[in-house]
Amino acid sequence: MSNGAHSTSTTTEIDLTTGRIRGTTAGGIGRFLGIPYAEPPFGELRFAAPAPRAPWSGTRDATTFGPAAPQSAYPQPIGDLLASVSEWGEDILTANVWMPDGAAAAPVVIWIHGGALERGASSLAGYDGTPFARDGIVFVSINYRLGSEGFSVLDGAPLNLGLRDAMLALEWVHREISAFGGDPERITLMGESAGGAIVAALLTRPESARLVRGAIIESGPLEVQSPQKAGRVTRALAKKLGVAPTKAAFAAVPPERLLQARTDHAAGRGPLSGVAGFQLAADADSVPASPAHTLADVDVPVLIGANTDEYRLWFAPEALAKVGRLQAWVARTALRVPRAAMRAARAAWPDATPGELLGQLLTDVMLRGPLTTMARSRPGSTHVFEFAWCSPVRELRAAHAVEIGFVFDALSAARSLSGAEAPQALADEMHDAWVRFIATGDPGWPVYGDGRTVRVFDTTSSTRRQPRTEIVDALA
């Protein structure tokens, strides 16, 4: 049964400040789905800051997920690995809550899904909150605006609208979570990939950070771009559509047409093509500077890490095989990878092909380097991990997103990434560590510290000095 559904359940009603909702309880876990935390961001509210949801009368049904944000399916071959959302709508700014039956002042986690800021939804089966609620955590997941609707850089519109949605959702959780048995003073943010980037960005904003007691960032980019650079994709879409990159012009374009323009814009282009993607833009009101450099001043425990072979989700094996020495050199030069980092990477991966070596350097430039910079700036309150278990699927190894099924203790929902024989013992270990961190701020291994301590998750896990420090240090 998907999404934590059970064969028998009873209805349960809860009063929120905006009105009464009806969910279900089964197996000792309550579920309340599709709860609106903001008004639908369309019509007059399209490309505007999110507006808190107005109160409703009567009892609102909360037994089904709300619609996903407008998005297109993942292209092939990645579409065979990552689930896509087939239907979307307008009333998208909703939250879902799983709660242990009888919870009182329980620790809380807010899950923010990934998807390159343009895909994904809280309703995907792999994000079921049941395992966390089973272990005493009140689990919340949210939807936020994606793609052009959420991360365009438009004249006349606020920047980072999807991030602003998450800000309002955090405030909603802090205000309402006690009704679900959660403690508003024990909220942990948790996100993967783009969701991890949003978690990090929320921590840079004092008004949001004061509501948080911990943060988990899985494979989340920690850099934000100038509005000029973050707006490249907006300008490209505006040109393709024949409109100006303004709020008024984009608001006149139906969501379906914006999605098709983005699909046409990215068609046939791979990770090395230079096609612009959606990114967070530096903005005084939402994310003033890159978290890699500003989280040193945020006094909450952080659990952060990346996967050994992140790049292998984005590069199919046949694409890697086609990357020659010249193409790899051009890409490394464009990324301004220092010679010392290239030499260290060759020493660490002596048998790697040019494509694999380039992929590893991309992983370090985008993820491992910035997270190391952040961890070294706050060594006493940061726990670092590396996910190293090698998936047998499509030569993914420890690719981007493979760890999610282990963290959620949901390997059956993650078979497209990890296969049918993924080790349950590793899922038990990782899920337990995440639950412990949410509850106590300590996942069970030492902080990064001067010894640069890292927990490496594998078939046999170990706690040791951070691997391949020569590469990330050369990138700093």
Token pair of 467 as six digits: 């691997």
Look up residue 476 and give its two tokens. 């700093």
Strand partners, 187: 108
Of residues 72, 193, 286, 290, which has the active-site annotation?
A: 193
Q: What confidence score (pLDDT) does residue 317 get?
A: 84
Q: Which of 401, 336, 398, 388 is nearest to 362 (CA)?
A: 336
Residue 52 is classified by DSSP as B
The reply to whether 400 belongs to the active site is yes
Q: Is 310 one of the annotated active-site residues of the chain?
A: yes
Beta-bridge partner residues of 384: 304, 454
pLDDT for res 270: 63
Query: How far is it, in rounded angstroms, from Cα 417 to Cα 363?
Result: 18
CA distances from 247 to 44, 129, 148, 254, 256 (A): 11, 36, 11, 13, 17
- Verify cis geometry, omega within 30 degrees of 0, for the bond prior to 443: no
Q: What is the mean pLDDT of each run of 10 residues along the chain (476 residues)?
A: 58 97 97 98 98 98 97 92 90 98 96 98 97 98 98 98 98 98 98 98 96 98 96 97 98 98 84 78 95 93 98 89 90 91 95 94 96 93 97 97 98 97 98 98 97 98 98 94
Over the range 239-270, which residues count as b (16 or more CB within 10 Å of their CB) and which as e? eebeeebbbebbbebebeebbebbeebbeeee
Alpha-carbon torsion 396, 401, 404, 410, what sign?
A: negative
Q: Are 113 and 144 in contact (CB under 8 A)?
A: no
- List the structure tokens of 380: 């006493």
Q: Which of 118, 310, 386, 403 is catalytic?
A: 310
Which distant-in-sequence residues (6+ apart) come within 8 Å of 173 by Cβ?
A: 95, 108, 110, 140, 182, 184, 187
Contact 417, 402 (CB under 8 A): yes
Given the residues 113, 174, 383, 400, the one annotated as active site? 400
Task: Determine the pLDDT at residue 275.
Answer: 73
Question: Which pLDDT score, from 0 to 100, does residue 379 have?
Answer: 85
In the chain, the domains with their CATH numbers are 1-234+278-300 (3.40.50.1820), 316-437+444-476 (no CATH)
Predicted TM-score of the model (pTM): 0.96
Annotation says 193 is catalytic: yes
